[in-house]
Amino acid sequence: MELDDIIESSPYRKDLESLAEKLRTGGQSAGRETFSSLRRKIEESDQAIADYQYTVKQMEEELKKEAAEKRQLLKKIELLLKKDAVTELDRRLEEAEQREKELRQIIKEQAENIRNLNGTVKDLNNTNKDLNETVKDQNDTIKDLNETVKELNKKNDDMGKTYISSIDRLSREVSDLTEENRRLTHIIEGLSGDLKVSRRFRFGKKSQKGTKAVEEKEKDREEEKEDFDGTQKPDGNGNTAAEQKNTEAADDKKKEAGQSKKTRGKYKTMSADEVVNHPSDQTLLPEGALLLGKHYRNTKFIEYKLVEHRYEILRYMLHGEMREGYFPAEEDASLLPSANGGVINRLKGTHASAELLAELAFDKYLLNTPLYKEEVNMECHGLHTKRTTLWNWLDKGADVLERLLPELKKKLLADGAVVNCDETWARVRKGGVYRKKYIWCMVNPENKTVVFFYDEGSRSRDVLRDFLGDANIKALQSDGYNVYAFLDGEDETTDHLCCMAHARAKFKYALDEGADKRALEILEPMNDLYIFEREYKEKGYDAERITQERQGSRTMETVRKIKERLDRLLEIGEENLSPLLAKAARYLSNLWDGIFLYLKDGRYNIDNNPAERCIRPLTRERKASLFYGGSDGVRTSVLYHTFIQTCWMSGVNALEYFKKLFRQIISGRDDYQNLLPCTIGINKKS
């Protein structure tokens, strides 16, 4: 290539033309000055390259710093994410580090190019033999350097855009993960609240009444043992913690004793079935003693014994027919009256009298004594029997109760009846496996009738539908279980009421376990509604007067207050409420119409407590006996509890009722409508 062509293509064309002109006209001296000027410009270019290199190093340090901050942020995120999300972030971090390595490699290459440029400049300074060749090489080097710089600038721009895009994407992911963490935290708080409610239900105070929040729980014994360092810390009065507890316990006992004296009422003396008098012999008085008077001092004895009555049965032939019978040799007071004279007091199919079977049923289903304990009790008193024998006797008694059940059910589901319904679970052994089954309970508070029923342990709506059949009841009250919802869609003539006590309990849990005092906004007016109901009962209002009071301004203003406060809670949003309070507000909102339907009629109850109270003895039996051996065991339990709870509602002594019922059945009576707790003729308890 000619010198003119080199000069024409060089970015230093003007300087080179000037240099060439001076070489032609002024010789080497003038050329050196021009060359020095060109050299300064090249050095300035080197300085610009060095400045760019410094800028690149600063960018590298910033990238390292941002990478370190990114790693720290990812470590924090790693604590909040699940294992698979952390693995994804690690992979992305590795990609970012890989991109950082590539950038470093480019910078390294750039540095290598700069070193090459420096070497070229040194060669130009050290050799001056062939100026044209040197300028050509310098121009080529500068051109390559410009291309390299352009490429580096382009790559740097691309890397910057990629880095910014990655940062934006990671920021969005962090935002999404933060939102997910907030959602999971809300769920965890809800589960924690449910766990506190469950623990309170199992181990703590179960009362759902009142609006006062529970005080801070005391440490249990295990926590006290772990925290105790051997130091007895006195209180302000100089008492140690143990002495303070004893003092508080004594004060509580005095307070309870004072309350019991105020509320105990008239004392009832114990009456005895048999009185044995033991008179004194006055002749044994000391000599000279003067008799001033005499009285008896009572001592109570309980004699636990089994009396076996043996009846001599005569077998005889009459008119060619073999017969047998008992013909008392003298008047026998143990016989029960019947149409044919007298009958032996023994339930058919057993060796038990009416009294023994009644006592056994009383112990098993009212005192919740398992049969194996009953067997041990009898063995300790010298009465040898087996629990299978006792069970067979109870089963025969259940057969008797089953004959009365249709009459009791007819009374329960009378036309226009208002009933309460509930269900509870039980463990039933079936096929060698213990399964969770359900027992239903229906109560008619007006007729004072209770019926338990069981349909292979099912909890489906078909069980309730089959039990109700064609009954023309006016209203059914239950909890919020969706099985009862079919009443709203299928039977428009029957009012379906929900239980306010369930709604109130959820707000009470939110106050006590969730520590959310906003629950008081609902609890306080709800408590006012219960005060109104207690007032109606104490004043003896009839259903018509109660309807007027419920639909009056006082009650309606309280209901309006509850509705306004509930709407405010719902407007706040569930995410801004404690999980327990959000659940309570949602429950009350969804069942609002059913809960406040009780305002329609004075016969309706404010809650489902009649059924809840009647089903509670069944749960106590579940705790005592743990499980049922099969469907037959459930059937027997259901029948006995039906009549025990009906006796309780009717104010009749259940033990006395069973004794009289079994006697009447043994005597041959079959007018079952007259053998119910309310019709058999037992005086109600005062």
Q: CA 487 to CA 476: how far, in whole Å? A: 9
**pLDDT higher than threshold 80 for residue 341:** no
SS3 label, residue 346: coil
Residue type at 560 in one-letter notation: R
> Which pTM value belongs to this model?
0.64
- pLDDT band per the 50, 70, 90 thresholds, residue 40: confident
**pLDDT higher than threshold 80 for residue 518:** yes
> How high is the pLDDT of residue 216?
47
> How high is the pLDDT of residue 249?
55
> Which DSSP symbol is given to 628?
B
Residue of 222 and 309 predicted with greater confidence = 309
> How high is the pLDDT of residue 288?
82
Residue type at 478 in one-letter notation: S
**pLDDT higher than threshold 80 for residue 192:** no
Q: What is the pLDDT of residues 386-396, one digit of tens each?
A: 889 999 999 99
- What's the mean pLDDT when you consider all of the chain? 79
- Range scoring the smallest mean pLDDT among 40-54, 112-126, 552-566, 587-601: 112-126
> How high is the pLDDT of residue 1?
47
Handedness of CA 365, 368, 372, 376 (dihedral sign): negative
Residues 6+ apart with CB under 8 A from 171: none
Q: CA 251 to CA 249: how far, in whole Å? A: 5
Q: What is the pLDDT of residues 568-618, one digit of tens each?
A: 999 988 888 888 899 999 999 999 999 999 999 999 999 999 999 999 988
> Which DSSP symbol is given to 86?
H
- pLDDT band per the 50, 70, 90 thresholds, residue 82: low
Which tokens belong to 547?
């309807």
**Could you give the residue ranges of the DSSP H alpha helices within 519-653?**
520-539, 543-550, 553-572, 579-590, 592-595, 609-625, 631-650
Mean pLDDT of 477-506: 79
- pLDDT band per the 50, 70, 90 thresholds, residue 32: low
- Range scoring the smallest mean pLDDT among 125-139, 272-286, 562-576, 619-633: 125-139
Which tokens belong to 40?
């300064």
H-run or E-run covering 551:
none
Residue type at 600 in one-letter notation: K
- Range scoring the smallest mean pLDDT among 41-45, 144-148, 172-176: 41-45
Domain ranges of the chain: 3-196, 354-391+417-630
**pLDDT higher than threshold 70 for residue 243:** no
- pLDDT band per the 50, 70, 90 thresholds, residue 520: very high
> How high is the pLDDT of residue 521?
92
Mean pLDDT of 42-70: 79
> How high is the pLDDT of residue 260?
47
- Range scoring the smallest mean pLDDT among 38-47, 206-215, 368-377: 206-215
Handedness of CA 655, 660, 666, 672 (dihedral sign): negative
Q: CA 292 to CA 316: how far, in whole Å? A: 66
> How high is the pLDDT of residue 413?
93
Q: CA 6 to CA 142: how far, in whole Å? A: 13
Residue of 588 and 490 predicted with greater confidence = 588
Handedness of CA 647, 648, 651, 655 (dihedral sign): positive
> How high is the pLDDT of residue 253?
55
SS3 label, residue 328: coil
**Could you give the residue ranges of the DSSP H alpha helices within 269-386?**
354-365, 371-380
Residue of 265 and 584 predicted with greater confidence = 584
Backbone φ, ψ for residue 540 (5° rounding): 70, 30
CB 682 within 8 A of CB 653: yes
- pLDDT band per the 50, 70, 90 thresholds, residue 474: very high
Q: CA 44 to CA 548: how far, in whole Å? A: 103
Q: What is the pLDDT of residues 399-434, one digit of tens each?
A: 999 999 999 999 999 999 999 999 999 999 888 888
Closest to 637 in 3D by CA, of 377, 427, 462, 354: 427
Q: What is the pLDDT of residues 352-376, one digit of tens each?
A: 889 989 999 999 998 888 888 888 8
